[in-house]
Amino acid sequence: MRNLLKSKTAMATGALILANFALAGNAAAHCDGLDGPVIIEARSALEKKDVTPLLKWVPEASEHTIKESFARTLQERTKGKAAQDAADRKLFETLVRVHRESEGAPFTGIKPAGQIAPVVMEADAALAKKDVDHLAKHVAEQVEKSVHEKFEKAAHSKESADQSVAKGREFVSNYVQYVHFVEGLNNMATQPPAHHAAETKKSGHAH
């Protein structure tokens, strides 16, 4: 029972920190990367000449945009290699832009392959293997390490905070980092990611 509880805790922590990567933008060049899941699926869809698999990446209201772009791309692909590459690129940009807009994220262009964060690659691999235990354990260890490090810095600097204004400011800096980190983890554990992002942007909460 104890091992089961630890496993569930690790998995929950893993999901939490992965949400943190997504919300904070640390998964840059993931959905907008040439080797990311969106563009990989777009390449496959073009080969099969079937737009259907791409529609899940966009809201229902934007389906027509993707269907039209996909149809134009198929037409352009018949005009030679240069035209095919240009048409494919335009479809990728449209698909990724619409997808990111639906997440409330800006589109800053298609990113080169090889820039996906290792933890995101592990997350995709876990889905492919249908086994998240290793990933969750790894991420849980990183979270625990970070909480301890931030706590130790805040606790140590608090002891000398009253010695001078400079020491006091050092404590405040460490305290803010520690509290915001813990607060952010807790918020993501208790709020749906999209809601949390919207509320954070709306409130502009900060120390």
Same domain, 111 and 174: no
CA distance 14 to 12: 5
Does 174 reside within a domain?
yes
Q: pLDDT higher for 101 or 203? A: 101
Query: Where is average pLDDT lowest: 9-18, 26-35, 52-61, 156-165?
Result: 9-18
Same domain, 59 and 131: no
Does the pLDDT of residue 70 top 70, yes or no? yes
Look at residue 194 in the predicted model and tell me its pLDDT. 53
Q: pLDDT higher for 102 or 192? A: 102
- Final residue of a structural domain among 66, 92, 116: 116
Residue 204 has a CB neighbour count (10 Å cut-off) of: 6
Does 8 reside within a domain?
no
Look at residue 31 in the predicted model and tell me its pLDDT. 84
Q: Mean pLDDT across the stretch 189-200?
A: 55
Please give the tally of structural domains in the chain.
Answer: 2
CB burial string 67-82: b at 16+ within 10 A, e below: eebbeebeebbeeeee
Look at residue 50 in the predicted model and tell me its pLDDT. 97
Residue 166: give the domain boundaries: 118-203
Q: pLDDT higher for 107 or 198? A: 107
- Nearest Cα to Cα of residue 136 among 49, 42, 3, 8: 8
Same domain, 80 and 108: yes
Same domain, 108 and 125: no
pTM of this prediction exceeds 0.75: no
Same domain, 45 and 83: yes
Same domain, 80 and 143: no
Same domain, 34 and 57: yes
Does 7 reside within a domain?
no
- Nearest Cα to Cα of residue 27 among 118, 96, 162: 118
Look at residue 203 in the predicted model and tell me its pLDDT. 39
Same domain, 125 and 182: yes
- Final residue of a structural domain among 62, 91, 116: 116
- With beta carbons less than 8 A apart as the criterion, state whether 157 and 169 touch: no
Does the pLDDT of residue 159 top 90, yes or no? yes
- Final residue of a structural domain among 116, 147, 162: 116
Look at residue 87 in the predicted model and tell me its pLDDT. 97
Q: pLDDT higher for 4 or 193? A: 193
